[in-house]
Amino acid sequence: MATKIRLQRRGRKGYAFYSIVIADARAPRDGKFTEKIGTYNPNTNPATVDLNFDRALYWVEVGAQPTDTARNILQHEGVYLMKHLRQGVRKGAFDDAVAQQKFDEWKASKVKGDDAVRAKEAKAKKEAYEKELKAEKAVNEAIAKKVAEKKAAVAAAEAEAATETPEEAPAEA
């Protein structure tokens, strides 16, 4: 049986959300699968991946063939790096502790990069909000200025009308 690691589409139209599954190569895309090992949401920036790392590593080591997108996801999560490090341990190049240390260093740098992307996105969003707020304040000030001018013109007209008609006032006796 040829086993594949592939994506199974979920979500609504125009908003795809994927499950990462282990399936027989002959099964349809959204059909029967052997095991679900994670999810992939490309709608966030950066894309969100929730992966059962140990099961993914197991399936890669026993020979399951990932699709191109699944391979990219697994590489991004470090499954192929850990497979490579485990092969080095088996060959005697280094021990488990060194392999785990190398993987942890790689993962820390990856997390740092993802955090930088999220921070940059949040900063851009905040700047856009502040720019929009500044533009809205300018529009509101212009409207307030026009309203003040109209009120001043109405008050001036009333004052002028009041000064012109003192003789029309009824005499009190």
Q: Which residues 6+ apart lie within 8 Å of 65 measured at CB? A: 2, 3, 4, 5, 25
Tokens of 100: 């785990």
> Is residue 44 scored above 90 in pLDDT?
no
Distance CA 24, CA 131 (A): 52
The per-residue pLDDT for range 128-148, each reduced to its tens digit, is 999 999 999 999 999 999 999
Distance CA 134, CA 146 (A): 19
What is the torsion angle, in degrees rounded to the nearest 10, for the CA atoms of residue 93, residue 96, residue 98 and residue 100? 130
Kindly give the pairing relationship between strand 65-66 and strand 3-12.
parallel
pLDDT of the residue at 165? 63
Residue 164 has pLDDT above 90, yes or no: no
User: Are the C-beta atoms of residues 81 and 103 closer than 8 Å to each other?
Assistant: yes
| pLDDT of the residue at 29 | 83
Query: What phi, psi does 140 have (nearest 5°)?
Result: -65, -40
**How many angstroms separate the most distant Cα atoms in the chain?**
122
More confident residue, 172 or 31: 31
**pLDDT in the model for residue 18:** 95
Terminus-to-terminus CA distance in the chain, angstroms? 117
The string of pLDDT tens digits covering residues 71-121 is 999 999 999 999 999 999 999 888 999 999 999 999 999 989 888 988 998
* 10-28 pLDDT, tens digit each: 999 999 999 999 999 998 8
pLDDT digits (tens, 9 = 90+) for 143-162: 999 999 999 988 888 888 88
- The answer to whether residue 64 scores a pLDDT higher than 70 is yes
Average pLDDT over residues 56-85: 94
